[in-house]
A = this chain, B = another copy of it.
Amino acid sequence: MIEINRELKISLYEQIYESIKRDILSGRLCTGEKLMSKRRLSEQLGVSLITVENAYAQLIAEGYVRSAEKSGYFVQYNGEIIPLSRLEGSICHESVTRFGGDTCIEGDSRLGGDFRLGGDSRLGGNSRLGEKGDEKKEIDAQNPTESAECFPFTVWARLMRSVLLEKGTALLQPVPNGGAEELCAAVSEYLYRVRGFYVPGKRIIIGSGTEYLYNLLIQLLGREHSYGTENPGYRKPAMIYRLNGVRCELISMDSCGMDVNALEKSGVSVAHISPAHHFPTGTVMPISRRREIMAWAKNGQEERFIIEDDYDSEFRWSGRPLPAMFGMEDGGRVIYVNTFSQTIAPSVRISYMCLPEGLYKRWQERMGFYSCSVPAFEQYTLARFISEGYFERHINRSKKRYRRIRELVLKLMESFGDSVTVNEENAGLHFTISTKNPEVTPKCALCGISVRPLHDYYGKDTAPADDENVCVVNYSNASEKQLMSIVNLQ
């Protein structure tokens, strides 16, 4: 049933992926059905094995297909069956987008998951929320410069100088309240290229950090809303919602992400989720769960929204990134939030959110008086950094570096023998381990790797007892040099 066309500009791997996905969504392929083996399909289509592997890996990553060891690949999809006529339109939209294939497909497909850069990682951030204010210092001090060394600072500095020279006193003029047009346009193109959805620049709101954007969102959506955040999870959003005096419930997770029954039961009207990659467990929300949460948002008596926190979707080890829910969705329920503070540098406070049409109108009416909080100079510099391709090149270089570090961290874990079990090694720059060995934490700390109990990421008194020995290992600040010297000594 799969047809490929070598004259299209769409890669063969994407054509195969799209074709199988369409068959699943339209019900031609049903849950439990076995797919053709990779080798047979590659022979039948006359394409390389790696091409088929990439297509299958993408379908697995998105949750449409599961792999059963030694028995093959099986369809899994419990979502709504979509008539082909409707599907052509929507898939068509996705398939004409030119994903940054080189960026996304390269490398070892065993390394699934995402990662994040810089000293201000979610783990670092989270640890600051703890009872002890000292922890921040401790973690920041571990490795203050090594990840910054990856950043092409000379390019950034050159762009800054040229912006300074070319813009001159125009830098002193205020930018539009939503953000500088050049930056909004660059982000819009970037999202189209890499995240597979189109949003016009004017519906992209630039703000100084996601923390600020969460504050604005509470005001935009209206204070009658209540919020559900992931438990375990990144704790800052819940803290901000509660400081703002709106109801916030911690919603339990299962292996697919936020539990929809628990979400429904909680009575909240806004789900704050990170479907691309959950922190700290690394869960990637499969398509079926995404659709369930979309259905939850559309079916409520009251107005419901989804805040899609896409914080490090830039970093995929294998396959193309999962399509954002913002792009899938057609009911104006999803707000997409992402940041450059993590991928460029924590000292560059630039985040953004994409609003659906209806909320954008509400923004203009209700929030339009808020001045853009990011200096014009940074916005122009970042716009060039993205539109001249440096941002994507930087992401690629960082991925290579973290692939090396990951191997070293896994070797370090092996050195502890049976006392450490790695649970979730596909989760990106952090994974979980089960251990009772007291030597693990100090040894990791020597290399800039933080090890914290998973319990720390649960709301008070909500952590299950069987997670007691589970720890989150975060190597976003790891020192490659120190890791090498320690691993090679053994």
Interface residue ranges, A against B (CB under 8 Å): 118-120, 125, 128-129, 133, 140, 144-145, 148-149, 151, 153, 157, 160-161, 164, 168-169, 171-175, 208-209, 211-212, 215, 218-219, 223, 236, 239, 243-245, 341, 344-350, 364, 366-378
Would you call the interface of chain A mostly helix, strand, loop, or mixed?
loop
Given contacts A169-B145, A174-B140, contact A212 B151 (CB under 8 A): no
- From B129, B169, B219, contact of A369 by CB (8 A): B129
Kindly list chain B residues whose C-beta atoms are within 8 Å of the C-beta of A372.
349
Interchain CA distance A264-B373 in the complex, whole Å: 35
Contact, CB under 8 Å: B236 / A369 = yes
Contact, CB under 8 Å: B140 / A169 = no
Contact, CB under 8 Å: A173 / B148 = yes
Kindly list chain B residues whose C-beta atoms are within 8 Å of the C-beta of A245.
223, 245
For the complex formed, measure the closest distance between the CB of A40 and the CB atoms of chain B, giving whole angstroms: 50
Kindly list chain B residues whose C-beta atoms are within 8 Å of the C-beta of A346.
172-174, 371
For the complex formed, measure the closest distance between the CB of A142 and the CB atoms of chain B, giving whole angstroms: 13
Interchain CA distance A118-B371 in the complex, whole Å: 14
Kindly list chain B residues whose C-beta atoms are within 8 Å of the C-beta of A373.
208-209, 211-212, 349, 373
Contact, CB under 8 Å: B208 / A369 = no
A-B contact pairs, 11 of them (CB 8 A): A140-B174, A148-B172, A161-B164, A212-B212, A219-B243, A223-B245, A236-B369, A244-B244, A341-B371, A348-B375, A374-B375
Given contacts A148-B172, A151-B169, A172-B153, contact A209 B364 (CB under 8 A): no
Kindly list chain B residues whose C-beta atoms are within 8 Å of the C-beta of A171.
153, 345, 347
Interchain CA distance A119-B209 in the complex, whole Å: 25
Copies of this chain, tallied across the complex: 2
Q: A173-B346, A243-B367, A373-B373 are known contacts; what are 4 more A-B pairs with Cβ within 8 Å?
A: A118-B172, A161-B164, A172-B344, A212-B215
- Nearest-CB residue, chain B, relative to A171: B347
Interchain CA distance A215-B236 in the complex, whole Å: 16
Interchain CA distance A244-B222 in the complex, whole Å: 9
Contact, CB under 8 Å: B345 / A371 = no
- From B160, B348, B375, contact of A164 by CB (8 A): B160
Contact, CB under 8 Å: B211 / A371 = yes
Interchain CA distance A212-B364 in the complex, whole Å: 18
Given contacts A160-B160, A215-B215, contact A377 B378 (CB under 8 A): yes
For the complex formed, measure the closest distance between the CB of A377 and the CB atoms of chain B, giving whole angstroms: 7
Kindly list chain B residues whose C-beta atoms are within 8 Å of the C-beta of A239.
369
Contact, CB under 8 Å: B174 / A153 = no
Given contacts A149-B169, A173-B119, contact A208 B347 (CB under 8 A): no
| 6 interchain residue pairs of minimum CB distance | A172-B345, A347-B376, A208-B373, A174-B346, A223-B245, A148-B172
Interchain CA distance A223-B175 in the complex, whole Å: 32
For the complex formed, measure the closest distance between the CB of A165 and the CB atoms of chain B, giving whole angstroms: 8
Given contacts A157-B164, A208-B212, A377-B378, contact A174 B120 (CB under 8 A): yes
